[in-house]
Structure 1
């Protein structure tokens, strides 16, 4: 039997298209992290891993709740690991670590928040893992902080989003960091106003032109089952003014009555919050989420095309569950992450997720939106990853179209519970070739 025949036979017997058509993803170990809950892998981390020039940075809690920073050169498996002087309450899965690198190379870190005082520090020098003293940003609305997120602007400045207040009664704050002045200022004190009756749970995307896209669901109480509707806003001036997709200017703050509804979804639809957005070369937004379709939660994409909102239902799930209650949930599926790759007239959408139907592996569903075809599904790992949620290196994808995914096998007991588990290895999954 010749080698060519053997290779053909192996490919024919492959369980997935991905294993044959692409290079096998490579896992790069970083260090051992806390795994008793999902705090290191929650979806709302911005960012778990990010790249500046030829250096990649990551952060995670170790088994003692210490904030650990890591740095490596791309294409190297050797990580420089530093245990910072800082720690967080890793027993609460809300208290994630988010990092951002400004245009001068300074590392910004925020961690340990669930309706608690802002915790923030930046590196003492560019590209260093040695953090300076903990400090305030603006001193305004920094006492009840949750969901810290850094976003890079094309000019090297940073944005910092967070919720001030509590679930069901929170305001959306936006701070802006000037590389020139090395100073933070608050540019929005309550962009999405719940009017003391509800909260907005958002996801955002800064596209290549610097347009900021925000989408969100409204939640009427602490109970996740009261999530409803997917709404949208965009800003062309760094977050100072906002408009709808048709160019109509918002009178700020945005409320439930003034918000543009990209897709109307009623309460008790198992609609999840804090997922992912991306945008194509023309600045059209794509919003990933999941909610019930015929009583089965399905991953779905809401997107803008020729000025109209459209929806694509991946439609491959077969099992039902009901989303409700408070705290960090143990859910059969993860929140999804989303990326787009354009080649000529083709728009390939890739959705990263984890699903108990697929034995909790790291999985991907993908589709060419430019043709009439079904979503295809494949697995990127051969083993389970627990209650992991996806988080990939957005900066590296935008600049080089290389997909690096933050990976750790973690547990999540429903409602902020803790599992008894040993630390597990934090890894970067390098997906060298995407299916089509």
Structure 2
């Protein structure tokens, strides 16, 4: 116990040192409970969300050691976690089958879980603030048989959007459903927003902004092989998802295809370009996209931040990595670095950003790259959590960040065997790392 407390103090001191230098403060670590750790299903970057806050209540979800879906809540800033094992189970052996949660404007908790080209698994809490759920149900009955990558997004009026892929890797389309708080029901908003035309599929990341904009960026994949990822594209909706346009205001004729998509950064196949990363928008609605790939004249994949200021798209290479690796093949890969999670903000005319990641170069700790001025592209890199987190990728409470600029990160050590393999390890403790970025 003494050793644990000393370790905690050392970690907090490390955070405090970083805070003094880079405007980051850390309140501490909240212990949640043990979860499944035989693969990365609890800690993939495309969980939207692992954590979510509504008012002063924060919710969490994860698979336990028996593959049951567990949900929990606490009162911020320092309440104890109340956990509830649901009746829902999932094929946690497949790291694609993540749990996504979101609260609507009436504080009902919505949950989707266990998806990799299969039937929709969705439920809603029985009452506001409850951890009890009604039976599993569908949403609209339209294209709900081959669902992958469920993601919830909350709009300013409390309504929800639900993104998912219909189809498979290298052959799929992006669909969006919308939930009305007033009507208490889902309707289909876009049956085919981004069309793979039976030849490819879009792997997207998305966000909403304070102006009501909905931003989506994506890479195309031409086959199940991750090496066929290419190009970074973009669209935005300013009317709740009804119509979509390019960054210059030109409206798309839907669905968006490879021939009509706005390419904001040309990246060729076999560039170690990863799919499903992260994007954010600042208070003015400027989009920022994080990813990694290898430049044509470099053997080392580097993290990149692509952002829009004024009429121009810019790409910053962080260029601090030293170790090469190659991406190829199907299934969930064991990759030496995590897909990055990005936060960004505007202070006057200056644009700042912070990138959360994990890299075997740095001992598979939790690290942060911080840039006070993106125009200067000078990044400071620090380890902020000294424990080895295995195959962890970062997810955070997006709604708490929007509301209070408090960064709460879902943390759990997990293993990932290459090509959708499963390790044989004991459950690992889940924690919430509590940071404030100024």
* Length-normalised TM-score, structure 2: 0.94
Aligned residues: 423
Q: How does 1:277-356 map to 2 (within 5 A)?
A: 277-293=279-295, 294-356=298-360
Structure 1: unaligned runs, 5 residues or longer: 1-9
How far does the alpha carbon of each residue in 1:217-252 deviate from its partner, in whole angstroms, 9 at most, with x for none? Answer: 000000000000000000011111100001111000
How far does the alpha carbon of each residue in 1:36-78 deviate from its partner, in whole angstroms, 9 at most, with x for none? Answer: 0000011110000010000000000000000000100012241
Partners of 1:399 and 1:432 in 2: how far apart?
Answer: 12
Partners of 1:157 and 1:184 in 2: how far apart?
Answer: 10
SS in 2 for 1:159: strand
Q: What's the offset of the Cα at 1:370? A: 5.3
Partners of 1:15 and 1:29 in 2: how far apart?
Answer: 17
Q: Which residue of the partner structure matches residue 33 of structure 1? A: 35
SS in 2 for 1:261: strand
Q: 1:288 to 1:274 in 2, by over 3 A?
A: same
Q: Which residue of the partner structure matches residue 260 of structure 2? A: 258
Q: 1:115 to 1:386 in 2, by over 3 A?
A: same
Q: What's the offset of the Cα at 1:313? A: 0.8
Q: Which residue of the partner structure matches residue 357 of structure 1? A: 361
Q: What's the offset of the Cα at 1:35? A: 0.1
Q: How does 1:5-20 map to 2 (within 5 A)?
A: 18=18
How far does the alpha carbon of each residue in 1:379-436 deviate from its partner, in whole angstroms, 9 at most, with x for none? Answer: 11011111000001110011001010000000000011011100001110011456xx
Q: 1:25 to 1:414 in 2, by over 3 A?
A: farther
Do the aligned residues in 1 keep the contact of 2:14 with 2:384 (CA within 8 Å)? Answer: no
Q: Which residue of the partner structure matches residue 402 of structure 1? A: 406
Q: Which residue of the partner structure matches residue 192 of structure 1? A: 194
- Candidates 231, 234, 239, aligned match of 2:233: 231
Do the aligned residues in 2 keep the contact of 1:71 with 1:81 (CA within 8 Å)? Answer: yes
Do the aligned residues in 2 keep the contact of 1:88 with 1:111 (CA within 8 Å)? Answer: yes
- Candidates 102, 107, 110, aligned match of 1:108: 110
Partners of 2:115 and 2:371 in 1: how far apart?
Answer: 37
Q: Which residue of the partner structure matches residue 46 of structure 1? A: 48
Q: What's the offset of the Cα at 1:130? A: 0.5
Partners of 1:151 and 1:24 in 2: how far apart?
Answer: 26
Q: 1:296 to 1:184 in 2, by over 3 A?
A: same
SS in 2 for 1:365: strand
Structure 2: unaligned runs, 5 residues or longer: 1-9
RMSD: 1.6
Do the aligned residues in 1 keep the contact of 2:56 with 2:76 (CA within 8 Å)? Answer: yes
Do the aligned residues in 2 keep the contact of 1:25 with 1:380 (CA within 8 Å)? Answer: no
Q: Which residue of the partner structure matches residue 387 of structure 1? A: 391
Do the aligned residues in 2 keep the contact of 1:29 with 1:77 (CA within 8 Å)? Answer: no
- Candidates 239, 249, 252, aligned match of 2:251: 249
Partners of 1:14 and 1:178 in 2: how far apart?
Answer: 45
How far does the alpha carbon of each residue in 1:134-179 deviate from its partner, in whole angstroms, 9 at most, with x for none? Answer: 1110001000100000001001000000001111111111000000
Partners of 1:409 and 1:253 in 2: how far apart?
Answer: 40
Do the aligned residues in 2 keep the contact of 1:70 with 1:81 (CA within 8 Å)? Answer: yes
Partners of 1:370 and 1:144 in 2: how far apart?
Answer: 40
Do the aligned residues in 2 keep the contact of 1:14 with 1:20 (CA within 8 Å)? Answer: no
Partners of 1:15 and 1:256 in 2: how far apart?
Answer: 44
Q: How does 1:204-219 map to 2 (within 5 A)?
A: 204-219=206-221
Partners of 1:105 and 1:309 in 2: how far apart?
Answer: 37
